[in-house]
């Protein structure tokens, strides 16, 4: 495994795991006042496309990282729609 | 350009552009109460690693998309630190 791949794995872990504290905060507080609906709509759609890209391109790390991120992004989006 | 690449480009555009409405909302309202500090700290770090990965792996789309996303993520992070 070369340097670039190791950096890529840490990058994927960082951006994927980052949505966990946001999802926890949103579920706990039900406060979504400063969260942008536009962001989570576009971001969820973009992550779904990354997941499709990962599957069609047979790129397991991309598919896996974005599959997990999509779950958290959708949770936050649902809370934003439910608790405006 | 095959189907997979086109999906990948739309995916990159979606997840990158998604941070624009959040940055605009945050700058306008200065309200960051429901935004997670943990998320933007981890996400900015992850995006920086993606940028490094894009550069070391000579992958221009990854470097470009994450360079742009990093700017917006840092703006939101700075506002979160400044207006708690």
For the segment B3-31, what is each residue's pLDDT rounded down to a tens digit? 888 999 999 999 999 999 999 999 999 99
Local confidence band at A40 (pLDDT 50, 70, 90 cut-offs): very high
Q: Which of A11, A17, A67, A83 to mutate to test the interface with B (most CBs of B within 10 A)?
A: A11
| A36 neighbourhood in chain B, CB within 8 Å | 21-22, 24-26
CA–CA separation, B42 and B22 (whole Å):
17
Closest CA to B19 of B39, B1, B4: B39
So where are chain A's domains?
3-82
**pTM for the whole thing?**
0.93
- For residue B84, pLDDT beyond 80: no
The fold of the B3-82 domain, in CATH, is Monooxygenase (1.20.1280)
CB within 8 Å: B46 and A13:
yes
According to the model, what pLDDT value does residue B12 have? Answer: 93
CB within 8 Å: A19 and B39:
yes
Greater confidence (A28 vs B59) lies with A28
Find the mean pLDDT for residues A16-21.
Answer: 97
In our burial notation (b when 16+ CB lie closer than 10 A, e otherwise), range B46-72 reads bbbbbbbbbbbbebeebbebbbbbbeb
- For residue A84, pLDDT beyond 80: no
According to the model, what pLDDT value does residue A61 have? Answer: 86
Q: Calculate what percentage of chain A has a pLDDT beyond 70.
A: 100
């Amino acid at each position: 495994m070369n340097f670039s791949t190791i950096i890529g794995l840490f990058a994927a872990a960082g951006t994927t795991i980052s949505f966990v504290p946001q999802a926890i905060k949103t579920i706990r507080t039900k406060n979504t006042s400063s969260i942008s609906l536009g962001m989570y709509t576009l971001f969820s759609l973009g992550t779904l496309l990354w997941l499709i890209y990962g599957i069609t391109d047979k790129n397991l790390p991309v598919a896996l990282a974005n599959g997990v991120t999509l779950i958290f992004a959708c949770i936050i989006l649902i809370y934003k729609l439910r608790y405006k």
